[in-house]
Every structure is written in C-alpha cells, then in structure tokens.
Amino acid sequence: MNIFGHIDKFKTKRVMKRLCILTIMICLFNTILAQTNNNVNYNNNNNNIIINNQPVIEKVHYIEKYRTVYVDRPQPKRHARKLSSPVCLLSTIWVYTEDLGDFRSLSDANEIVNHLNARGACGRNDWRIPTSAELTVMEQNADKVGLGDGIYIATSHSNGILRPVSTGPSIAEKRQEADSRRRQQEAEETRIRTAKNAQNSLISTGHGMRDGNGLIWSTTNVGATTSSSNGSVLASYTGYNGWRLPTSRELSYFVDKSSVTKRPDSGYLKTFYTYNGITLVQGRYLTSDGYYDVGGSNGITGKQGYVRLVQDEL
C-alpha cells in the first residue's frame, strides 16, 4: 500500500507541474498577442494623411473578429470665397457673390438686403434671404457658389451668415419688359384709334347705325344666303374688317326692344321690327350660333336666312 501511495503522489506532482507550465505559456502568448494588436492600432493611428496641405490623423477602429481595419477619412474644410458674378442654380435661383456678415436677427439681415436692392447690386433689386429649400440647393452646390463651413441664415431661423438670393428678372430685363409692354400698349391704342375712326366713317357715310347697346348694325340686309357663302358677304360689305354675324341672344334682345309695324313690301304685307332707327324684316336670320326667326321664317327654310351684319362699338 505504501509503494502505490508514493507512486500516486509522484504522478500528481508531475501533472500539477505540467499544468503550471502550460498556464504560464498561455499567459505569455496572450500578452504577446495583446502587445501586437496595440502596435497595429498605434501604427495605424500614426499613419497621417494630408488634405489641403493639412495633416489629418485617420480614425481607426480595429475589429478582432474579422481582422479588418475601417478608416474614416475626414472631408476637407470648406472655405467661403467671393465670386466674380452671381451664380444661377436650377435656372431660377440667383445666388449673390459673397457672404455678408454673421447676423443674430432677421431684421438686421433684411436691413442689409434692402441696402443691396436700393443700389441695384449686381444688376438686381429683388435680393432677399433664402428659404430653407433654397439654402438646401445652395448647400448641394456649395463649391459652385462659394459657401463656407459656417451656419447660413434662412427665412426659417434668425441667425447665421447671409448669402442673398434672387428669383426674379434683372433690372435690365425688367426695363425690357416695361418697354415691350409700353410698345404693345401704344400699338393697341393706335389700333383702337384707327378702328374708331373707321366706325365713325361708317356712321357718317350711312353704312352703319349705333343701337345704343354697344353694337353697330349694317343699315340693310345683305340678302338671303347660305352659311357657306357668309365669308364672301362679310368680306365684300365694307372696307372695315370688324363685321360679324350677330348672335341669337343679340337678335332676341333687339326684337324684345323693337316696335312692330306692318306694311307692304315687294307685293307682300310684311312685319317690320324697329329699334333705335334700325329695322329688321320678319324672317329667319343667320347667326353666329345657328339662326334666329324674327317674327317667323317667312318661307325661308333650312340653313338659309337673311344676313344682317354687326360689329362691336369701340
């Protein structure tokens, strides 16, 4: 029993010794591995890059599981700059040439904008503070319009750097538009003056009569005709091209206001409708929207009828 007891104690000591040695080796291995990872992180964090002549230390995150290094490279800082002329974005937004101050209120910014408009800066007089949507477009084109890294003011908040915008025509374009409207107005006034002179000539020569309700009537019927030949009748009646066929409503109004008489005409007893010295004979009249019977068709049927021309009094 004593011999076997000594053998067991010997084996136990040997196993314990081996376990201690194995434990020490594992600890040394972990220490070496940790030191290696620290060296990798240290080397990566000291791997400087240059952006715009400025050293930037890369931010490094070391992920042990995938043994992968992810590098976040900072964007270069934007520097505001003055432009030689306004820049147009989206074909509608004109951006001013430079940053103007760093304002703490919209009222202060508006005072500067009013000063720009008073002197017609860059050929425009409708500069204003941009909206948030317009400022977003400007930020998307920051390099093109020369924006810096600061906070820019918009109509939705009350502080920041001011970069005015314009969305209307320039002063020169407004002047051209005004000149164009003036020429059009002068041409229209000349046209109306000429037309009025022509209408006065119609009245004086007996080719037209005013009804007092904004119409000038031809003094006689232009016979009975079909709608297909109205164009030639209108073209041949006088030299003035303002003649047209009356509407059914205009003929109805004329008949309602007329006095009615009957008298012989060409061997027939006919009814006549007279209003303000203008007389229509009983029968069917062609209109711009069909036809209208003045007291009865008088035997004229189908699409035929008398033609009595009118024009709008100027």
What is the average pLDDT value for the chain, to the nearest integer? 78
Is 23's pLDDT higher than 70? yes
**What is the model's pLDDT at position 171?**
95
The burial of 70, by beta-carbon neighbours within 10 Å (0-12 exposed, 13-18 middle, 19 or more buried), is given as exposed
- Of 134 and 12, the structure prediction assigns the larger pLDDT to 134
Give me the amino acid identity at 268: Y
What are the residue boundaries of the structural domains of the chain, listed by start? 2-72, 87-168, 193-312
Distance separating alpha carbons of residues 211 and 278, to the nearest angstrom:
7
Residue 194 C-alpha from the chain's centroid: 39
pLDDT digits (tens, 9 = 90+) for 49-91: 444 454 444 434 433 433 344 445 556 788 899 999 999 999 9
Contacts of residues 8-15 at CB distance under 8 Å and 24 or more positions apart, as own/partner, are none
In the chain, the percentage of residues whose pLDDT exceeds 70 is 69
Evaluate whether 131 touches 155 at the Cβ level (below 8 Å): yes
Contacts of 306 (CB under 8 A, 6+ apart): 221, 222, 223, 224, 280, 281, 283, 284, 285, 286, 300
Is 148's pLDDT higher than 80? yes
**What is the model's pLDDT at position 184?**
95
Highest mean pLDDT among 13-27, 80-94, 251-265, 294-308: 80-94
**What is the model's pLDDT at position 307?**
84
Distance separating alpha carbons of residues 45 and 59, to the nearest angstrom:
7
Helix, strand, coil shares of the chain as percentages rounded to 5? 40, 25, 35
Evaluate whether 265 touches 283 at the Cβ level (below 8 Å): no
Distance separating alpha carbons of residues 156 and 113, to the nearest angstrom:
16
Whether the model clears a pTM of 0.85, i.e. scores above it, the answer is no
262-276: b (≥16 Cβ within 10 Å) or e:
eeeeeeeebbbbebe
The burial of 231, by beta-carbon neighbours within 10 Å (0-12 exposed, 13-18 middle, 19 or more buried), is given as exposed
